[in-house]
């Protein structure tokens, strides 16, 4: 028995039929073709499947799709600008060489979106703890941490100019 869900995915209204036991990761990847959502451990341990649901980073491999009915979902595909340009967070990852193989990168970027969106300033140790739920098998943590720190710093500079 399939259930019909109404979601907003990357800013677009989507109606999708899902098995009630289906994970959000499976729905996003298999039904909606959003392949930035990676399936790593499938038990919520590695962070590769991280997306934002109503602005909160979640492990989509252990989040049922039916729980997302009526919610806003954001994946890396939704970060692109109108002309396909990278978001400031994505640019920070490129500029800090924090992408390596790229498997873990989309999930970490989505956590960085949540971190930057908080508007808070963090110490390097606090940022380290905030991204600690992500496993990088290439051991690129220093560059990843540099990229998140850069994205937060740049966002805070921008906000400071607006005030």
Q: Each residue's pLDDT tens digit in the chain (163 positions)? A: 999 999 999 999 999 999 999 999 999 999 999 999 999 999 999 999 999 999 999 999 999 999 999 999 999 999 999 899 999 999 999 999 998 898 999 999 999 999 999 999 999 999 999 999 999 988 778 999 999 999 999 888 765 544 3
Overall number of domains in the chain: 2
Q: Say which CATH number the domain at 69 has.
A: 3.10.20.30
- Long-range pairs, 8-13, Cβ under 8 A, ≥24: 8/71, 8/72, 8/73, 9/34, 9/73, 9/74, 9/75, 9/78, 10/34, 10/73, 10/74, 10/75, 10/77, 10/78, 11/78
Q: Report yes or no on 20 lying in a domain.
A: yes
| pTM metric for this prediction | 0.93
The predicted structure's pLDDT at residue 160: 52
Q: Is residue 56 part of a domain?
A: yes
Q: What is the pLDDT of residue 100?
A: 86
CATH number of the CATH domain containing 99: 1.10.150.120
Task: Report pLDDT for 163.
Answer: 38
Listed residue (106, 101, 104, 91) closest to 147, CA to CA: 91
Q: Which residue range is the domain that position 46 belongs to?
A: 3-78
């Amino acid at each position: 028995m399939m259930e019909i869900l109404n979601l907003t995915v990357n800013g677009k209204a989507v109606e999708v039929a899902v098995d009630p036991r289906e994970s959000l990761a499976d729905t996003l990847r298999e039904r909606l073709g959003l392949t930035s959502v990676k399936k790593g451990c499938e038990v919520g341990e590695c962070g590769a499947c991280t997306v934002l649901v109503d602005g909160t980073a979640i492990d989509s491999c252990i989040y049922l799709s039916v729980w997302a009915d009526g919610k806003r979902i954001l994946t890396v595909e939704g970060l692109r600008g109108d002309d396909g340009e990278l978001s400031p967070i994505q640019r920070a990852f490129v500029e800090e060489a924090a992408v390596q193989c790229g498997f873990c990168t989309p999930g970490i970027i989505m956590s960085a979106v949540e971190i930057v969106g908080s508007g808070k300033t963090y110490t390097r140790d606090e940022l380290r703890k905030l991204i600690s739920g992500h496993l990088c098998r290439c051991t690129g943590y220093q560059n990843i941490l540099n990229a998140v720190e850069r994205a937060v710093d740049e966002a805070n500079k921008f906000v400071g100019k607006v005030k």
